[in-house]
Amino acid sequence: MNASDMPKNPYLLLTPGPLTTTASVKWAMMQDWCTWDDDYKQIVQDIRSELVSLATSQSGYTAVLMQGSGTFGVESVLTSAVPQNGKLLVLANGVYGRRMVHIARKAGIRCCVSDSGETKPPDLDRLKSMLTIEPSISHVAVVHCETTTGMLNPILEIGNIVNAFRKVFIVDAMSSFGGIPLDMAQIHADYLISSANKCIQGVPGFSFIIAREDELRETRDRAKSLSLDLFDQWEAMENDHGKWRFTSPTHVVRAFAQALAELKEEGGIEARYHRYAKNQLLLVSGMKALGFQPLLPEPLHSPIITAFRYPNHPGFDFGLFYRLLKQRGFVIYPGKVTDIDTFRIGSIGDVHEQDISRLLQAVERSMYWRVGIPGGWEQGLSKHRYNERVWI
């Protein structure tokens, strides 16, 4: 098999992970590696140090790779970091914030939550008063980019408050790390969690945690799980120079190393951020021109993913819209907001302005409203142009 034989993608993924990866990232998986051989372990060590340097310019930080999807990484941190006598405060405004609460409850970690609702940023005054009233809170966790809506939470302001109260700060930067510039020392984050298949543009298979080393060292024997024990995983990687405790996703790791090299080639996080931001601006202006409204006001938006309200037309059918877009080569994401009907379109991955332009054309052609006749559909906004009616 040659690189030119590689099957073509059936569609462009406009979802926030797994996302569209380059052919060269996929190609990097075409070799088998031994999980404990020195050459492979060196790749792991290089990845770990590269992740630390992407996360901060300060020293005293370390990186741990953990098998599983992003949620495994979050679960690993929460169940390894919060001690028996500690208490976790989660600032939630979407599915991923609430998932942290769920993880804590399952693991029997004492936990409280400040939920500002899916369309509002965290309430910083409430955070201060909760930390004042409840001194047993030891850890505060928040999602950076809440992928539910695309909202970018103010982690710098939150980090300053958490630091003023001397609490441990955990940031789920799953869908932002590598795509939005940040320095974890500046935001006072003790733990930053992300995964292989988001903005670094690797394939799914492991998550990673960048941690303040002094804080991580405090957590020996705290973990409530063997396989997700963050300290033990870190200690094994440190002492055995890149060795994972259990079978590692070798092909995925190799692809991730390639993805990191391509991030560098692109010009680093800053350049990638600009590409994503351009994609997102083009997407929003184009969708607005077609009559779609974003769920959030512009200032709350991230360049990562955008939630759109269903069009204000009783005949809109998301299932049909999705299928027509897929036939035209694009996969978008259903919504996850509780009270409002939405769908989401991601702007991350190996996705460029010309892809967004093609998507907007496909969206225009896929806007069919259900009409009175059973099984009848009529072209939406542009019906004066297309004047099409189909029976499905």
- In the complex, the residues that contact ligand PLP under the rule CB under 6 A are 16-17, 69-71, 74, 96, 143, 147, 172, 174-175, 195
Q: In terms of DSSP bridges, do strands 88-92 and 139-143 run parallel, antiparallel, or are they unpaired?
A: parallel
Coil/strand/helix, residue 129: helix
Q: Smallest distance, Å, CB 147 to ligand PLP?
A: 3
Report the candidate in 196, 223, 193, 197 with the shortest Cα–Cα distance to residue 209.
Answer: 193
Q: Smallest distance, Å, CB 323 to ligand PLP?
A: 23
Residue 329 burial by CB count (10 A; 0-12/13-18/19+): exposed, middle or buried? middle
Closer to ligand PLP by Cβ: residue 111 or 324: 111
Beta carbons of 291 and 381 less than 8 angstroms apart: yes
Q: At residue 276, what are phi and psi to the nearest 5 degrees? A: -65, -40
Sheet holding 389-391, edge to edge: 368-370, 376-379, 389-391
Please report, as a single letter, which amino acid is at residue 251: H
Report the alpha-carbon distance of residue 215 to residue 312 in Å, rounded: 50
Closer to ligand PLP by Cβ: residue 117 or 267: 117
**Bond before 311 cis per omega within 30 degrees:** no
Q: Smallest distance, Å, CB 240 to ligand PLP?
A: 27
* Alpha-helical segments (H) within 56-123: 70-81, 95-106
Closer to ligand PLP by Cβ: residue 15 or 379: 15
Closer to ligand PLP by Cβ: residue 28 or 196: 196
Q: Smallest distance, Å, CB 172 to ligand PLP?
A: 5
Q: Smallest distance, Å, CB 291 to ligand PLP?
A: 28
Closer to ligand PLP by Cβ: residue 175 or 280: 175
Q: Smallest distance, Å, CB 71 to ligand PLP?
A: 3
Q: At residue 144, what are phi and psi to the nearest 5 degrees? A: -70, -70
Closer to ligand PLP by Cβ: residue 177 or 368: 177
Report which residue's Cβ sits closest to ligand PLP: 70
